[in-house]
Amino acid sequence: MIETRALTMRFGQIEALTSLDIAVGDGVTGLVGANGAGKSTLIKILLGLLEPTSGTASVLGHDVATQGPEIRRLVGYMPEHDCLPPDVSASDFVVHLGRMSGLPATVARERAADILRHVGLDEERYRQMGGYSTGMKQRAKLAQALVHDPRLVFLDEPTNGLDPAARVDMLQLVQRIGRDFGIAVLVTSHLLGELEKVSDHVIVLDGGHLLRSSATADFLHHTGGLLVEVLGGDAARDQLGEALARAGLACRPRGAVVVVDPPSDPLAVHDLVRDTVADLGLGLVRLQADQGHLEDVFLPGGGTHG
């Protein structure tokens, strides 16, 4: 879907993207990074709206340097900033943008009604958008990105400004776009935890550099250690934790379990834990991979404690 090679973008002294090589496939891809990491800059380059300082990028096989209009015909874009005219209804707005994308009037009206219903704007769609809540505005922005039935959508911070319940709704919508509508999605967020729930693949940018790009499952596996639970309550848990620490494993209690941080020898650790539990005469309830969180990637020392 998307490929970049040594993509670099400088604004004067600021290097917003540094020699970025990424590849984005089908499904939902999360683009994660703190504010200023370069997410919006990358999206604008991919849409052919910004010319990169050096390097190349292609979207759906089209070169961003020369084929911006073709890319924008095939791609939907939900910008981060507030860009809705306040004195227009969502219905008129989405119909208008559908027509701008080349849909005949009747088709644009039908598609707009369908898509507004899908994103959860019903009766409100006839009201002027100036009076909308942030959640309704985000839905209207999402609807205009989808009205022309794109093959790929760029969603720039779709959960920005939403309360927790509205965030969950928006993330479910993002997931449905990828899974049910079959549209590839590139979605950005500075909140790492929310993207791990909806993305098949995650790309992490840090100060314009690629920090990591991998399947979400690998990410979670990579950042996680082991969870060990034994019979005997807190006393047994602490006894085990102390014995594992003596055996050279970094671990800590979390609720009823002992969390063992990612070991240097992942194959030997299972045997070591099993033998330690047996030597202590404790009953092993479970020994399983700890599905870490994307946040762990950014914690100093990977979030481990001695």
Site string for ligand ATP, 82-121 (x = CB under 6 A): ----------------------------------------
Nearest to ligand ATP of 93, 154 (CB atom)? 154
DSSP letter assigned to residue 163: -
Out of 3, 6, 8, 36, name the contact with ligand ATP by CB under 6 A: 36
Q: Does 138 bind ligand ATP (CB under 6 A)?
A: no
Least Cβ distance, residue 207 to ligand ATP (angstroms): 8
Interaction of residue 41 with ligand ATP, rule CB under 6 A: yes
Within positions 208 to 247, which residues make up the interface with ligand ATP, using CB under 6 A? none
Q: What is the dihedral of CA 88, 92, 93, 95, to 10 degrees?
A: -170
Residue with tokens 């707005």: 93
Binding letters toward ligand ATP, positions 178-197, x by CB under 6 A: ------------x-------
The helix/strand/coil state of 253 is strand
Rounded Cα distance between 298 and 78, Å, is: 27
Amino acid type, 196: E
Amino acid letter at 215?
A
In terms of phi and psi (left: phi > 0; alpha: psi -120 to 50; beta: otherwise), the region of 257 is beta
CB atoms within 10 A of CB 23: 13
**51 scored as a contact of ligand ATP (CB under 6 A):** no
Please identify, using beta-carbon distances, which residue of 39 and 139 lies nearer to ligand ATP: 39
Question: Of the candidates 16, 147, 183, 273, which one interacts with ligand ATP according to CB under 6 A?
Answer: 16
If one asks whether residue 135 binds ligand ATP (CB under 6 A), the answer comes out as: no
Helix (H) or strand (E) holding 185: strand 184-189
Among the residue ranges 34-42, 130-138, 229-237, 277-285, the one whose residues contact ligand ATP (CB under 6 A): 34-42
> Judged by CB, which is closer to ligand ATP: 3, or 80?
80
Q: Are 115 and 94 in contact (CB under 8 A)?
A: yes
Contact 301, 238 (CB under 8 A): no
Among 7, 32, 33, 143, binds ligand ATP (CB under 6 A): 33
Residue 283 and residue 230 in contact, taking contact as beta carbons nearer than 8 Å: yes
Which residues contact ligand ATP by CB under 6 A?
Answer: 11, 14, 16, 33, 35-41, 80, 157, 190
